[in-house]
Amino acid sequence: MDEQGNPHFRLLESIAGDLSGEVNFPTCLDAAVLVRNTLRDPEVSLDRVATVIGSEALIASKLLRLANSVHYNPGGRAITDLRNAVSRLGFETVRTVSLAVAMDQMVKARHLGAFTCIARETWDHSLRVAAIARVLARRIGRINQDEAMVAGMVRAIGVFYLLFRAAERAEYREDRALTLELLRGWQGSIGEGLLQVLGLPERIVGALQQREPNLVNPCSLGDVIFFASLLAAPAPEWLATPQPPGAEDSSAAAQRYADLLAEAEEDMAELRAALAA
């Protein structure tokens, strides 16, 4: 790849340097990943989890509000400290909501002003894939629901990083076609690199790299994510991927799995309520 043959050369060269060194992402995302990594320790204490969450005020406030919502606090006993909030919500909810808050903040960042519509459409689709993946994992029974939802949320993280970096350059801010060309060509590989740098579990990274899903009998996290993306169609044009041979038409699949999609809508509504709290 050279500058003459690729209009994105300078930007991609700079991003390659980021991925081999220091990735400049919102601190909220760093905090969310730290929360996830902390909770991977089966012996971790509530006090330690509360301390880590407390390092990012926005995540902490969202979790406190969620813990005091009618759904989690039907008796009306208010909680004012993070330790008890984590205890009430449970680790799985804390993991999922922390990451969702961080991703949602990226979408709303003022820095992305020129690309707000692209970022919002990407995030809406990612949330839908995540909710469907969670329900699929729940029904299959042998796949971790939390990992399925997280994989759905971060599957397009490359789009957000490319937009963050493209926002620094006038040629992208002023040319939507050039921006979409960048996203279509590079969001997948950039996203995989970011997930490695951010330290997400290998199971999630590997699932998002899977290229030959088993659609007849989905039994892996990668199968679930691919099938969820099929049911979440239509995808934004910059996220569209070719369907493998034998894949069911998305509209036919949506009709056949209408009850699953309805259940996913409930999960998505719950997550959106947490983000809006």
Half-sphere exposure for 209 (CA within 13 Å, toward CB): 14
Secondary structure of residue 230 in the 3-state scheme: helix
97-111 pLDDT, tens digit per residue, is 999 998 998 888 888
pTM given for the model = 0.86
What ranges do the domains of the chain cover? 12-21+101-276
The answer to whether 115 and 167 are in contact (CB under 8 A) is yes
Distance (Å, whole) CA 31 – CA 34: 5
pLDDT at 263: 93
The answer to whether 29 and 102 are in contact (CB under 8 A) is yes
Q: What is the mean pLDDT of the chain?
A: 88
- 244 pLDDT band, cuts 50/70/90, is low
- 212 pLDDT band, cuts 50/70/90, is confident
pLDDT at 44 over 90: yes
Distance (Å, whole) CA 73 – CA 12: 48
132-172 pLDDT, tens digit per residue, is 999 999 999 889 998 999 999 999 999 999 999 999 999 99
How crowded is residue 140: how many other Cβ atoms within 10 Å of its Cβ? 17
Per the structure block, which two tokens stand in for 129?
Answer: 């894939």
Dihedral sign for Cα atoms in the order 241, 166, 121, 28: positive
Region 221-232: what's the mean pLDDT?
92
The answer to whether 170 and 11 are in contact (CB under 8 A) is no
Q: How many percent of the chain have pLDDT more than 70?
A: 94
Say which residue, 218 or 236, is predicted with more confidence: 236
pLDDT at 271: 84
The answer to whether 151 and 229 are in contact (CB under 8 A) is no
pLDDT at 265 over 90: yes
pLDDT at 180 over 90: yes
Distance (Å, whole) CA 142 – CA 270: 23
Say which residue, 32 or 48, is predicted with more confidence: 48
